[in-house]
Amino acid sequence: MKKLLGMGALLALSPVAMAGDELSGANTAWILTATALVLFMTLPGLSLFYAGLVRTKNVLSVLMQCFAIACMASLIWLIVGYSLSFGEGNAWIGDFSRVFMAGMGKGDLSGDIPESLFFMFQMTFAIITPALIVGAFAERMKFSSMLIFSAFWLIVVYFPVCHWVWGGGWLGSMGLLDFAGGTVVHITAGVAALVAALMIGNRRGFPTTAMPPHNLTMTVTGAGMLWVGWFGFNAGSALAANGDAAMAMTVTHISAAAGSLAWMTMEWVKFGKPSVLGIVTGMVAGLGTITPASGFVGPAGALVIGLSAGVICFYMTQAIKRKWQIDDSLDVFPVHGVGGILGTLLAGVFASPDLGIFSGFGFADGINSIAEQFKVQVIGVVATFVYTAVATYILLKVTGIMTSGIRVSEEQETEGLDLVLHEESGYKF
């Protein structure tokens, strides 16, 4: 059989292992660890990263949103999410055969790991994706609107796209290369963030009033947790403790380091000084961009992808904030959306064994020619982008009707969401 196309082949074509498969203790131990690492990315990694970037009066609101999404997404995944994502279904959506983990026992396997573990590992991806979107509307969205929108968004956007790519759907069948979530996680979250930022409008005072991060120490702490947790995100997607996982971890680290230094350098050249915020943002750009390619490229390819991420995502951030004046508060689209698009496209290029040093060990041997594979990657990017944008727009409209508007009032925004929505404050001076 040809090399796995990441989690698209994922054993998800048949959630329960075929007769004769045996449990692998080594693989099970690694995926247990990877699952904890991916959850660690959201709680506390992403939570602290985002919380440090907002103003003092909104720090708890961001932490609350990430925590609440983690809880809510877990239950939705249990009830219907896993089934719609990985149930047999059709080319577009899964069926209801695994609702409430129906028919899943302790001894049931997905490949050579417990199916319950595969369920948990995939759950952590469903948790972090809507949590990423929080950065786009930070400091101005109602908590009730956020909860309703996130729940609907998982069902309408995340689960179908997950099925398309990893659950035996049409994009996976076409041969789309997305090892750990360039389309499923980063493009969906990034595009939804852009639509949300446009629909909810800019924060009061943007762009004329300075809104610096209130605690960069907190942000750097969260960034470090994201970097470490991302090893579970990408290397865990091999679903085995083997060379694929080891190489995925290696290229993930290289891309993160390259993205960090590239972003820092661009900032240094443009503004005269490198910033802490810049280097950690470049790290996230490098991590997000390598994600879809992490199981298919070698170290040289990862270096090019990371450097490209640091430069291109930097310029997109400048364009969106300064030129187009769109208040994507914490740069979700230019970092995750653009990074996901860039990484998905470059996966189709650097995965080819014909590129020698750039493809390293030719992880995706048996794929189409570079031109043909690139075409498949473009189709995956465009389909995910368009579907996510349209669905997110409709869901935000519906949410606004249900909650009498998705944005807090001007007075509430001025006072801060911590006190207004939660009757608490992050700091007692």
Residue pair 338/312 in contact (Cβ under 8 Å)? The answer is: yes
Question: Mind listing the pLDDT tens digit of every residue in the chain (429 residues)?
Answer: 334 455 544 544 444 444 447 999 999 999 999 999 999 999 999 999 999 999 999 999 999 999 999 999 999 999 999 999 999 999 999 999 999 999 999 999 999 999 999 999 999 999 999 999 999 999 999 999 999 999 999 999 999 999 999 999 999 999 999 999 999 999 999 999 999 999 999 999 999 998 999 999 999 999 999 999 999 999 999 999 999 999 999 999 999 999 999 999 999 999 999 999 999 999 999 999 999 999 999 999 999 999 999 999 999 999 998 899 999 999 999 999 999 999 999 999 998 877 766 655 445 555 668 889 999 999 999 999 999 999 999 999 999 999 999 999 999 999 999 999 999 999 987
Pair of tokens at residue 411: 């007075």
Pair of tokens at residue 151: 């729940």
At residue 192, the 3 state secondary structure works out as helix
For residue 222, how far is the Cα from the chain centroid?
Answer: 15
Q: What are the CA-CA distances from residue 42 to residues 66, 125, 274, 330, 403 (Å)?
A: 7, 10, 27, 15, 26
Classify the C-alpha dihedral 197-191-50-159 as positive or negative.
Answer: positive
Tell me which residue has tokens 């390293």: 360
Find the angle CA(183)-CA(185)-CA(189) to the nearest 5 degrees.
100
Pair of tokens at residue 357: 């040093």
CA distance 257 to 283: 6
Look at the chain and count its residues.
Answer: 429
pTM of the model: 0.94
Residue pair 175/317 in contact (Cβ under 8 Å)? The answer is: no
Residue pair 312/37 in contact (Cβ under 8 Å)? The answer is: no
Pair of tokens at residue 66: 């990430």
Longest dimension (CA), the chain: 65
Q: Which fold has domain 24-407?
A: Ammonium transporter fold (1.10.3430)
CA distance 228 to 246: 14
Count of Cβ atoms closer than 10 Å to residue 356 Cβ: 11
Domain segments of the chain as ranges: 24-407
